[in-house]
Amino acid sequence: MSTTTSTRNRQETASTWRSPGKWLPVAIFVVLGIVAIAMVYPFLWLVISSFKTSADIVTPPVQFFPRRWTFEGYRYVWEQTSLPRAYLNSVVLSAAIVISVLFTSSLGGFVFARLDFPGRDAIFYFILATTMVPFITLFIPLYLVMQHIGLVNTYWGVWLPAAVSSFGIFLCRQFIYGVPQDLYDAGKMDGCGDWANYVRITLPLIKPVLAAQAIFSFLSSFNLYLWPLVILHDQQLYTLPLILAQISQTQGINYEAMMTGSVLTSIPSLVVFIIFQRNFVRGIALTGLKA
Amino acid sequence: MSNQFAASRSAVRGKDLPGRRWRKASPLALGVALILVLFYSIIFVIPFGVSIWLSFQNWDFIDNPVYVGLANYGQALADPSFLHALRVTVEFSVAEIFLAVVLALLVALPLSRLKGAPQQVLLLAYYLPVIMPVIVSILLWEWLLYLPSGGVLNALLQNLGLPTQPFLNSPTEALWCIIVMVVWSYLGNSIVLSLAGINDVPESLLEAARLDGAGFVQQCRFIILPLLQPVLVYIVVTSVIGTVQMFEQFFLMSGPGNSTRNLAVYTYQLGFQSLNLGYGAAVSLIMFLMLLIATVFQVRRFQQSLTY
């Protein structure tokens, strides 16, 4: 009997694939929802753990909810570690990188797409080609160059290599090609120079691509690890990832501090994510993204 | 100035003499070009040149560099540490990309059948790990999930009656631990890209297939997947570039000994820990060449597949 029901079920399934019934999306949603919960679960565990004591975190049997709720970890990282300072460092650096990337990408994209000058295409394809060289190949000599121009152990040294995005210039150029030439010709008629054409016509029209780029450039600059690690020597200048890694490597692992530090570090990215979630999905489809 | 754009268009067609191009070029364009040339000289051309020069030298940061010809490259080919790091890098890339693409398709194909809010909610959940700072993902997996005693995964295994694992403490499991973490981190990205590709498949094609009696699996197999090829190639190419360069995941989550040391970490150690700058430069250049060949090869194959 069980075999007959299962065959009937299978037939029903087959027919609903052809003309989706009402319950099929529900079934898909349930299965994919379980996958989604599995993917978010580690993060929930992290957040809950930040309210546990160190002993509570690692003492078997492992349990989801704290045996005793505590804010000790938060108090500790705020008062006893350089995390607050690192927070400021990271936010300021990321903001500086985002601003310069947006400006140079849009202006560079405009210049390469709409203006003419000797060597334009050569320079553009060269910039595109630089994206093929991994940072690992460049960072040792780049350190030597920075040493030469006196930017080692400064924010400028962290900022400079990230200040212009080759991919960003490429992306904006592609977008600006899509802006009708008539708009620019009309601008000319009204007496717009190149700069006015950039500010008044180009910038408002490429807002979506700039929004997407702002998000991704914020996330990636917030994540920078290797380059700041190499070029910053002074603890005071360390960014969040460096401080957090340091907290995890000090003697006598402090689980509380690690978990609370992690939660605090995630907040800016989460805020950006929540504010721009609509642009996110569109942005990834737009840019491809390499986080 | 007023016929700037007309001039630029004719210049593109190559009718203008170079001298006229200089005179016609706007100050803004020349200024931006100059700044970009300066910028890329400092952060790219000079370092890249120095890297190539260094790879022919022996230098420890202190004494004067000594020219050694191709010795550094020869050394790499016979260096077990280099070959091991190379193997770790390749194994990691292949496994990570294979898992990511397969899992992303398994999720994105059914996900494309949902519309509106349910799809959005799921997408946001899948995307959460991508936006989490990398350092947070590392600490989360290393100290909460993979912890051999008191970790979540071993507690789970115990509840299921399975043997507990040493995870990062085992030279054979450590690399897989990093692979799983990285797949988890970036899966959302591949899902969103695949979904965008699937949504681009014309509904009329699927409708026609349905009229011919094709089920969902057949529609996927014969229509969606072939049309998805450009997206998949894009995912693979960007993933190769991303995974080969991955640093902090390997640097901070390292397994015992050198079991998870990849080329990126090896280069860092040669440059900033053992101060063997010439050899470090040679290793990093070999890595660049391999990446270049892999990318060109993939793009070529992709273009060939598009021509029929």
**Amino acid A250: pLDDT:** 77
Domain harbouring B163, CATH code: 1.10.3720.10
Nearest to B214 by CA among B202, B201, B224, B226: B224
pLDDT over 90 at B97, yes or no: yes
Q: Do B17 and B126 share a domain, yes or no?
A: no
Q: Do B43 and B87 share a domain, yes or no?
A: no
pLDDT over 90 at A92, yes or no: yes
Place of tokens 């929930």: A44
Helix (H, G, I), strand (E, B) or coil at B245: coil
Q: Confidence class of residue A100 from pLDDT cuts 50, 70 and 90?
A: very high
Helix (H, G, I), strand (E, B) or coil at B67: strand
Q: Do B240 and B267 share a domain, yes or no?
A: yes
Report how far residue B87's alpha carbon sits from residue A236's, in angstroms, rounded to the nearest whole number. Answer: 38
Residues in chain B closer than 8 A to A30 (CB atoms): none
Nearest to B114 by CA among A28, A154, A227: A28
**Amino acid B190: pLDDT:** 92
Report how far residue A220's alpha carbon sits from residue A241's, in angstroms, rounded to the nearest whole number. Answer: 12
Of residues B306 and A177, the one with the higher pLDDT is A177
Report whether the peptide linkage leading into residue A61 is cis, meaning its omega lies within 30 degrees of zero. Answer: yes
Lowest mean pLDDT among A99-108, B109-118, B133-142: B109-118
The dihedral sign for the CA sequence B151, B154, B156, B159? negative
CB contact under 8 A, B139 and A244: yes
pLDDT over 80 at A184, yes or no: yes
As a residue count, chain A comes to: 291
pLDDT over 50 at A11, yes or no: no
Of residues A281 and B35, the one with the higher pLDDT is B35
Q: Do B28 and B141 share a domain, yes or no?
A: no
Report how far residue A171's alpha carbon sits from residue A186's, in angstroms, rounded to the nearest whole number. Answer: 25
Structure tokens given for A139: 């960072």
**Amino acid B255: pLDDT:** 84
pLDDT over 80 at B4, yes or no: no
Side chain identity at A21, as an amino acid letter? Answer: G
Q: Do B101 and B163 share a domain, yes or no?
A: yes
Residues in chain B closer than 8 A to A241 (CB atoms): 133-135, 248
Residue ranges covered by each domain of chain A: 2-71, 75-287
Report how far residue A223's alpha carbon sits from residue A94's, in angstroms, rounded to the nearest whole number. Answer: 9
- Distance separating the N- and C-terminal Cα atoms of chain B: 47
Quick check: A38 contacting B, CB < 8 Å? no
Query: In B174-198, which positions are buried (b, 16+ CB within 10 angstroms) versus exposed (e)?
Result: bbbbbbbbbbbbbbbbbbbbbbbbb
Tell me the CATH number of domain A75-287, given options 1.10.3720.10, 3.50.50.60, 3.20.20.80, 2.40.50.700: 1.10.3720.10
Q: Do B50 and B198 share a domain, yes or no?
A: no
Within a domain: B64: no
CB contact under 8 A, A145 and B241: no
CB contact under 8 A, A127 and B140: no
Q: Confidence class of residue B287 from pLDDT cuts 50, 70 and 90?
A: very high
Report how far residue A287's alpha carbon sits from residue B279's, in angstroms, rounded to the nearest whole number. Answer: 36
A-chain residue closest to B108, CA distance: A32
Of residues B291 and A22, the one with the higher pLDDT is B291
**Amino acid B303: pLDDT:** 75
Side chain identity at A274, as an amino acid letter? Answer: I
Q: What ipTM goes with this model?
A: 0.84
Q: Do B101 and B246 share a domain, yes or no?
A: yes
Count of beta carbons in the 10 Å neighbourhood of residue A190:
8
pLDDT (tens digit, 9 = 90+) per residue, B205-248? 888 888 888 888 888 888 888 888 888 888 898 899 899 989 99
Average pLDDT over residues A7-16: 45
**Amino acid B3: pLDDT:** 47
pLDDT over 60 at B2, yes or no: no
Average pLDDT over residues A70-95: 89
Report how far residue A188's alpha carbon sits from residue B8's, in angstroms, rounded to the nearest whole number. Answer: 14
> If you average pLDDT over every residue of chain A, what do you get?
84
Interface-testing mutation among B136, B238, B243, with chain A (most A C-beta atoms within 10 A): B136
pLDDT (tens digit, 9 = 90+) per residue, B242-251? 999 899 999 9
CB contact under 8 A, A39 and B51: no
> If you average pLDDT over every residue of chain B, what do you get?
86
Helix axes of B116-131 and A255-275: crossing angle, nearest 10 degrees: 140
Q: Which residue stretches of chain A are H helix?
A: 2-18, 23-49, 54-58, 72-80, 83-114, 120-130, 135-148, 155-162, 166-177, 181-189, 194-196, 203-205, 207-223, 226-231, 240-249, 255-275, 277-287
Q: How far is CA B30 from CA A18, A57, A174, B23, B239, in A?
A: 60, 60, 20, 11, 36
Q: How far is CA A95 from CA A215, A220, B136, in A?
A: 11, 11, 20
**Amino acid A44: pLDDT:** 92
pLDDT over 60 at B307, yes or no: no
User: B58 has which bridge partners?
Assistant: B66
Average pLDDT over residues B134-150: 89
pLDDT (tens digit, 9 = 90+) per residue, B151-205? 888 888 888 988 888 888 888 899 999 999 999 999 998 998 899 888 888 888 8
**Amino acid B18: pLDDT:** 62
* Cβ–Cβ under 8 Å, residues A104 and A173: no
pLDDT over 50 at A93, yes or no: yes
Q: How far is CA B110 from CA A25, B32, B48, B115, B223, in A?
A: 9, 47, 46, 11, 15
pLDDT over 50 at A193, yes or no: yes
* Cβ–Cβ under 8 Å, residues A239 and A257: no
Q: Confidence class of residue B1 from pLDDT cuts 50, 70 and 90?
A: very low
Within a domain: B244: yes
Domain that holds residue B188: 73-307
Average pLDDT over residues A12-22: 50
Q: Do B151 and B9 share a domain, yes or no?
A: no
pLDDT over 60 at A10, yes or no: no
A14, A28, A144 member nearest B110 (Cβ) = A28
Average pLDDT over residues B115-137: 89
Q: Do B112 and B260 share a domain, yes or no?
A: yes
Closest CA–CA distance from residue A161 to any residue of chain B (Å): 6
User: What is the H or E stretch that residue B278 is in?
Assistant: helix B277-307
**Amino acid A151: pLDDT:** 93
**Amino acid A18: pLDDT:** 47
**Amino acid B53: pLDDT:** 93
Average pLDDT over residues A94-103: 95
pLDDT (tens digit, 9 = 90+) per residue, A127-156? 988 988 989 899 889 999 999 999 999 999
Closest CA–CA distance from residue B172 to any residue of chain A (Å): 23
Q: Confidence class of residue A280 from pLDDT cuts 50, 70 and 90?
A: low
Cα B304 from chain centroid (whole Å): 23
Residues whose CB is less than 8 angstroms from the CB of residue B202 and which lie 6 or more positions away in sequence, other chains included: none
A62, A230, A281 member nearest B150 (Cβ) = A62
pLDDT over 70 at A286, yes or no: no
Q: How far is CA B23 from CA A117, A118, A121, A210, B15, in A?
A: 9, 10, 17, 32, 15
Average pLDDT over residues A11-33: 68
User: A282 has which bridge partners?
Assistant: none
**Amino acid B186: pLDDT:** 92
Average pLDDT over residues B132-151: 89
* Cβ–Cβ under 8 Å, residues A81 and A262: no
Q: Do B46 and B168 share a domain, yes or no?
A: no
User: B66 has which bridge partners?
Assistant: B58
pLDDT over 50 at A174, yes or no: yes
Report how far residue A155's alpha carbon sits from residue A237's, in angstroms, rounded to the nearest whole number. Answer: 8
Within a domain: B66: no
Residues in chain B closer than 8 A to A35 (CB atoms): 107, 126
Q: Over pLDDT 90: what percentage of chain B?
A: 43
Of residues B301 and A234, the one with the higher pLDDT is A234
Quick check: A176 contacting B, CB < 8 Å? no
Of residues B101 and B304, the one with the higher pLDDT is B101
DSSP letter at A201 equals I
Q: How many domains does chain B have?
A: 2
Q: Do B46 and B160 share a domain, yes or no?
A: no
pLDDT over 80 at A276, yes or no: no
Q: State pTM to two decimals.
A: 0.86
* Cβ–Cβ under 8 Å, residues B18 and A118: yes
pLDDT over 80 at B77, yes or no: yes
Residues whose CB is less than 8 angstroms from the CB of residue A170 and which lie 6 or more positions away in sequence, other chains included: A109, A127, A128, A131
* Cβ–Cβ under 8 Å, residues B11 and A118: no
Q: Do B50 and B93 share a domain, yes or no?
A: no
